[in-house]
Amino acid sequence: MGKTIRFCLVYRDMWQSSGKYMPRMDQLVKVAEPIIDMGCFARVETNGGGFEQINLLFGQNPNKSVRAWTRPFRQAGIQTQMLERGLNGIRMSPVPADIRRLMFQVKKKQGTDIARSFDGLNDPRNLAHSIRFAKEAGMVAQAALCITHSAVHTVPYYIELARELIGMGAEEICIKDMAGIGRPVSLGKMIRGIKEQYPEILIQYHGHSAPGFSVASSLEAARAGADIIDVGMEPLSWGTGHADLLTIHAMLKDAGFELPAINMKAYMKVRSLTQEFIDDFLGYYINPRNRYMNSLLIGPGLPGGMMGSLMADLENNLASLNKWLEKRGKSPLSQDELLIKLFQEVEYIWPKMGYPPLVTPYSQYVKNVALMNVMQMEKGRERWSMIDNNTWDMLLGKSGRLPAPIAEELKELAIKQGRKFYTGNPQDLYPDSLEVFQEEMHEKGWDSGQDEEDLMELAMHPQQFRAYKSGKAAKAFEEDLARRKLRNSNPQPTPAPPGHASLPMPKKLKVSVNGEQFEVALSYEGEDPLQEDRPAQSQQHQPEHRDNGHAGLQHILAPLEGKFYLTREPGEKPLKVGDQIKKGDTVGYIESMKVVNAIFSDVEGEVVEICFQEDEPVQEDDVLIKVKA
């Protein structure tokens, strides 16, 4: 009889690797029983950073979803696990230690058994609190090694990293092959090396399938001593997701491993329900390209978990770039052309940025800078001209130690902009702040929730939680869904033949979604779908700062599209009418592609108008602020 191999279904990650959203709470509860009935899973991944924010974007309370989703698994004796980002908790930016501690306490009480903690830079200092807080809360502390392939990420490097994490108290090790670019033989050597030193430590292998290595990697991992293999299942396996349960099961069985049997009737039920959720609404947010495997990903090493958002980012930025090109009489780019340019730019800048493992959030940072570089260079501007605050924090050492030094050109740029490098413990830069959010909840009359779970949610995701509480999040989601449904059901009209007059086409249509009426703007090829519904100020695209209608007024324009905010952190004073500003002052922020970009003034004078409200969407070149010289 061979070694016993257990399986974990990464149901949350299956969705995150495919598109923007996950199933609603009622859908998750519906699929839980047949997952249990399959009889082959020792663990199910139930929640993590993406899960929390997605529920808030729906307008749902994610804490209620976690409780309802984990309950049936725990009752059936199946362990539940979550994914958390070390210093960043369950969001994209660093989190104060007191909020991180509360998160672990809340998640354990909600029914999560295992905390899989990773640091995107593989800096053990950022996982010290995660390991300690998870164990204090009664959770299993699993520490992850973020796998990538480079000159600095060697087998000895990872074995030593595992030794440090186990020495800090990690009870399990996850081989987190988030992009699926770990080479199978090297992964086997890595696992074997860890097991030789720590035979009692459980090792769990997690690999995405996109570049095509993951099946061979799963076999090598099992042969080297891995105890649990993460798998996906149809209709969301493969592509940017994970190898399918049936394939891995059949392969390992043939290799002589002892495996649990699969209840195929229950398997087909889970498969059917998952497809039902796709047909219901989730398919509108899944780019078909994410269902394909692509060996081109071996080069840039981008992870499957971010490919859903990457394709959405490409779609939005391609439209913006092509409008800019067409206005200047230049040929537009296709999505494939932009994608290849992006992949090539990632390969070029990754070593220059210090080889950060391409995992959340650093995969986003590298991808965003690469995309901004491509966009700016297509417009005749310089590389590195748009680097967001989050990325600068990583480059300066405020997120942890990079695996390698950054390029001299980035060091020079940092010095030129007056930025300072940091070598201390990153957590020290983010003092405790839970009291600030307790005061906000008290002032607004909000209940802190069961086990203070709503307090934790506000402190972890302040902007998204406020939008959820106000109802803005649910309204925005329903409007977006209505627009996507309409777009799918109304293909572009065929142009009238030459010599025939075109019939007038409707500009707006009322659509019903879940019983609620929405008025949706229609657009046709070459038109801006949002133009009709935008406020007057968002239709302004001024190539110059000078305001022709009001002598002496100058404009600060949006450098990219996203959501506009006046402040970034609690306690930061927002810009207001009447303030005096100078060139180089930070006047606001735009959140785009999951990161925050500071907006710097290129004019001086008195602020006479702030054209957008907090959390309002803006387009590139929109007038954000008017200034009197």
The stretch 335-363 carries a mean pLDDT of 88
Distance CA 388, CA 277 (A): 35
Q: How confident is the model at residue 495 (pLDDT cuts 50, 70, 90)?
A: very low
CATH code for the part of the protein at 537-628? 2.40.50.100
pTM: predicted TM-score of the whole model, two decimal places: 0.79
Q: Mean pLDDT of all residues in the chain?
A: 86
For residue 448, is pLDDT > 80?
yes
- Per-residue pLDDT tens digits for 238-257: 988 999 999 999 999 999 99
> Which token pair is 619?
């387009």
| Equal fold, 295-429 vs 537-628 | no
Instruction: Sketch the domain layout of the chain as residue ranges.
Output: 6-288, 295-429, 471-489+505-533, 537-628
CATH topology of domain 295-429: Cyclin A; domain 1 (1.10.472)
Comparing CA positions, the residue from 398, 407, 337, 394 lying closest to residue 368 is 394
For residue 623, is pLDDT > 60?
yes
Element (H, E) at 592: strand 586-592
Comparing CA positions, the residue from 351, 364, 435, 347 lying closest to residue 399 is 364
Looking at residue 533, its pLDDT comes to: 36
Comparing CA positions, the residue from 329, 90, 294 lying closest to residue 211 is 294
**Amino acid, single-letter form, for residue 495:** P
Distance CA 565, CA 388 (A): 14
* CA angle in degrees (0–180, nearest 5) for 614-532-592: 35
Looking at domain 6-288, which of 3.20.20.70, 3.40.190.10, 1.20.1070.10, 3.80.30.20 is its CATH number? Answer: 3.20.20.70
> Which token pair is 323?
């409008």
- Per-residue pLDDT tens digits for 276-295: 999 999 999 888 877 777 78
Task: Tell me the backbone φ, ψ of residue 498, rounded to 5 degrees.
Answer: -55, 140
- Going from the C-alpha of 565 to that of each of 155, 463, 541, 574, 586, the distances in angstroms are 44, 10, 19, 9, 11
Q: 69 or 513: which carries more pLDDT confidence?
A: 69
Highest mean pLDDT: which of 340-349, 424-433, 545-554? Answer: 424-433
- Going from the C-alpha of 259 to that of each of 11, 200, 246, the distances in angstroms are 20, 20, 12
Distance CA 120, CA 117 (A): 10
Looking at residue 1, its pLDDT comes to: 64
- Per-residue pLDDT tens digits for 318-331: 777 888 788 888 88
Contact 228, 43 (CB under 8 A): yes
Tell me, what DSSP letter sits at residue 117?
E
- Per-residue pLDDT tens digits for 542-560: 333 444 445 568 999 888 7
Looking up tokens 């439209």, which residue turns up?
319
For residue 172, is pLDDT > 90?
yes
Looking at residue 594, its pLDDT comes to: 65
